[in-house]
């Protein structure tokens, strides 16, 4: 729908809050037998929200979509399938709230973020349970994500008062210049399903610290973490209208276009595929809003021959198989020096053989399902393609229908070559394809042969080589002798077709601010 045709209906009329019959908690007759009660596992049942949030209103709709547990395919709930008019009203609400919120003290915003952080940690069990239900990752891993998510609230609580400006000397005698950092305005946040809590806090905490207001559109696969976090934000004292959560599935394209083209929205932050990022950038051109994109990856993991192989395998396991390989920064191409190649593959297979795949709520499970059938099909294709090009399956390599519809066995493919699809496409699944190399230059050529550049890794005990290779890798992030690089204190982001902008760290808040220059004339000369 063209933006010029969107009718600016008032919030009450657009969403019909409290005047239409709520569909929260109701499921279609088709799936009634497979529905589960998420709240049965929660201490605070009110954290499981099946309504969108606009201002102070819990928004319902006559049109909903179902959310399923990827481990069991059971329906865990419904949320409103909002149309463009309802999202337009949410933008209006955020726009109105910005008028007052921009003037709040950064110290007050810091205190709100601190309270939000404390509430997340107090409710970690319930938040992790909701996350496991909608995403499928094991409960212990879900708790790890909640802790990671909360760390951004703590970090940006500290950063909020530190939006320093400068006093500048000018070329004109008697003039001085000041720079002031101010919030950019209303921010649209589009988040993915693989980290449904962390991708919210990493973006929103920086925006709130800067003094912005936010409209969040979580992925339709995983809306409940966003809604639970919004409830805790409300309890922490985030003012009404500062944080809004809109849910949609059938109107996704139209809502995306609105968020990009609407001039009330001054900033768009998106995590997702490169193809969608290009589309959003094109749609944002007319409004000239600020953008930050974290897009596709194809991470190389380079293992040199001077390392402890056991340590190298442990680093890869942490990097490659976390989230069943469904992380933006997981290794996609494992490049191992020929001298340690056979030992590395043998020990990697041994480590993978110790995994337990299953429902994330079951004791001892280390790896859960893939998120949907498309993800399962891609892993299946990459494994078949690797075998067709001479790859050898050393462990795994097949679906696990006995475990569930969306489970795939963690897989190691040896003798990988650049001819395989996995060499050029991000798998986003539990497949470790192991390539050989002989020289440093060969490893760098293989690693940099990608049009994306998000994360990369190098394992070596040679300090000079570590620095040399790190500087030569064409990626936004490099992990040296570690498979874990994500941290609230370090800038997260890529280069090339992996996008631009940085999240987290002292740079993260800059993405949500603009610099204003104030020039003062008529300054008196120095006293004699």
B/e letters for 333-360, b = 16+ CB within 10 Å, e = fewer, are bbbbbeebbeebbebbbebbeebebbbb
- As a three-state string, the secondary structure of 61-80 is CCCEEEEECCCCCCEEEEEE
In the chain, the largest separation of any two C-alpha atoms, in whole Å, equals 88
Kind of pairing between the strands at 455-459 and 411-416:
unpaired
Q: Which of 134, 141, 145, 294 is catalytic?
A: 294
Tokens of 357: 């795949």
- Asked if 429 and 447 count as a contact pair (C-beta separation under 8 A), the reply is no
State yes or no: is 260 an active-site residue. no
- Asked if 102 and 211 count as a contact pair (C-beta separation under 8 A), the reply is yes
- Asked if 396 and 411 count as a contact pair (C-beta separation under 8 A), the reply is yes
Tokens of 397: 């390599």
The Cα 422–Cα 435 span in angstroms is 11
- Asked if 251 and 84 count as a contact pair (C-beta separation under 8 A), the reply is yes
The Cα 3–Cα 493 span in angstroms is 31
Helix and strand numbers (H, E) in the chain are 14, 22
Residue carrying structure tokens 């000239």: 288
Single out the residue of 272, 357, 352 nearest to residue 320, CA to CA.
352
Please give the C-alpha separations between residue 186 and each of 38, 218, 513, in angstroms, as whole numbers. Answer: 33, 17, 11
Tokens of 450: 């990608």
Tokens of 326: 């469904």
Please give the C-alpha separations between residue 36 and each of 68, 135, 178, 476, in angstroms, as whole numbers. Answer: 9, 15, 58, 42
Supply the DSSP symbol for 94: H
State yes or no: is 294 an active-site residue. yes
- DSSP 3-state of 175: coil
Tokens of 398: 């097949």
Which strands make up the sheet holding 166-169, listed edge to edge? 166-169, 176-183, 513-520
253 sits in which H/E element: helix 252-261
Tokens of 269: 């932050």
- Asked if 153 and 240 count as a contact pair (C-beta separation under 8 A), the reply is no
Question: Phi and psi (nearest 5°) for 356?
Answer: -125, 115
- DSSP 3-state of 412: strand
- Asked if 224 and 142 count as a contact pair (C-beta separation under 8 A), the reply is no
Q: Which of 328, 330, 488, 503 is catalytic?
A: 328
* Catalytic residue ranges: 294, 328
């Amino acid at each position: 729908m063209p933006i010029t045709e969107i009718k600016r209906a008032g919030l009450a009329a657009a969403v019909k809050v409290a005047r239409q019959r709520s569909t929260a908690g109701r499921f279609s007759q088709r799936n009634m037998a497979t529905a589960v009660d998420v709240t049965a596992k929660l201490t605070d049942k009110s954290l499981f929200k099946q309504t969108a949030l606009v201002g102070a209103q819990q928004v319902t709709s006559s049109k909903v979509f179902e959310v399923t547990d990827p481990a069991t395919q059971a329906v865990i709930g419904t949320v409103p399938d909002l149309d463009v008019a309802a999202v337009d009203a949410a933008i209006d609400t955020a726009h109105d709230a910005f008028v007052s919120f921009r003037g709040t003290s950064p110290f007050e915003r810091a205190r709100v973020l601190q309270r939000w952080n404390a509430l997340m940690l107090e409710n970690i069990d319930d938040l992790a349970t909701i996350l496991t239900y909608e995403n499928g990752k094991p409960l212990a891993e879900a708790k790890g994500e909640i802790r990671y998510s909360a760390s951004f609230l703590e970090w940006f609580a500290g950063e909020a008062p530190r939006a320093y400006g400068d006093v500048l000397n000018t070329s004109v005698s008697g003039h001085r210049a000041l720079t002031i950092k101010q919030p950019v305005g209303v921010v649209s946040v589009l988040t993915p399903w693989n980290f449904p809590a962390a991708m919210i806090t990493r973006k929103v905490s920086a925006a709130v610290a800067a003094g912005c207001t936010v409209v969040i559109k979580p992925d339709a696969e995983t809306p409940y973490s966003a809604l639970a976090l919004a409830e805790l934000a409300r309890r922490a004292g985030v003012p009404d209208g500062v944080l809004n959560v809109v849910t949609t599935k059938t109107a996704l394209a139209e809502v995306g276009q609105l968020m990009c083209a609407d001039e009330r929205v001054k900033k768009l932050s998106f995590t997702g595929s490169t193809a969608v990022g290009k589309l959003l950038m094109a749609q944002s051109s007319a409004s000239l809003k600020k953008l930050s994109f974290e897009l596709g990856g194809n991470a190389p993991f380079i293992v040199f021959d001077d390392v402890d192989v056991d340590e190298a395998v442990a680093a890869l396991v942490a990097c490659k198989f976390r989230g069943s390989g469904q992380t933006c920064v997981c290794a996609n191409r494992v490049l191992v020096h020929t001298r340690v190649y056979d030992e590395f593959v043998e020990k990697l297979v041994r480590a993978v053989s110790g995994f337990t795949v299953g429902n994330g709520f079951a004791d001892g499970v280390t790896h859960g399902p893939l998120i949907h059938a498309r993800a399962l099909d891609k892993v299946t294709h990459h494994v078949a393609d690797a075998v067709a090009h001479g790859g050898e399956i050393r462990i795994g390599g097949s679906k696990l229908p006995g475990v569930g519809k969306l489970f795939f066995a963690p897989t190691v493919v040896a003798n990988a070559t650049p001819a395989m699809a996995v060499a050029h496409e991000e798998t986003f699944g539990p497949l470790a394809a192991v390539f050989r190399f002989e020289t440093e230059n060969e490893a760098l050529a293989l690693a940099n042969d990608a049009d994306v550049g998000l994360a990369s890794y190098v394992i070596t005990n040679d300090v000079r080589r570590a620095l040399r290779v790190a500087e030569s890798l064409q990626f936004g992030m490099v992990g040296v002798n570690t498979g874990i690089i994500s941290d609230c204190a370090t800038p997260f982001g890529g280069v090339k077709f992996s996008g631009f902008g940085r999240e987290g760290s002292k740079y993260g808040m800059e993405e949500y601010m603009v610099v204003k220059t104030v020039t003062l004339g008529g300054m008196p000369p120095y006293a004699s």
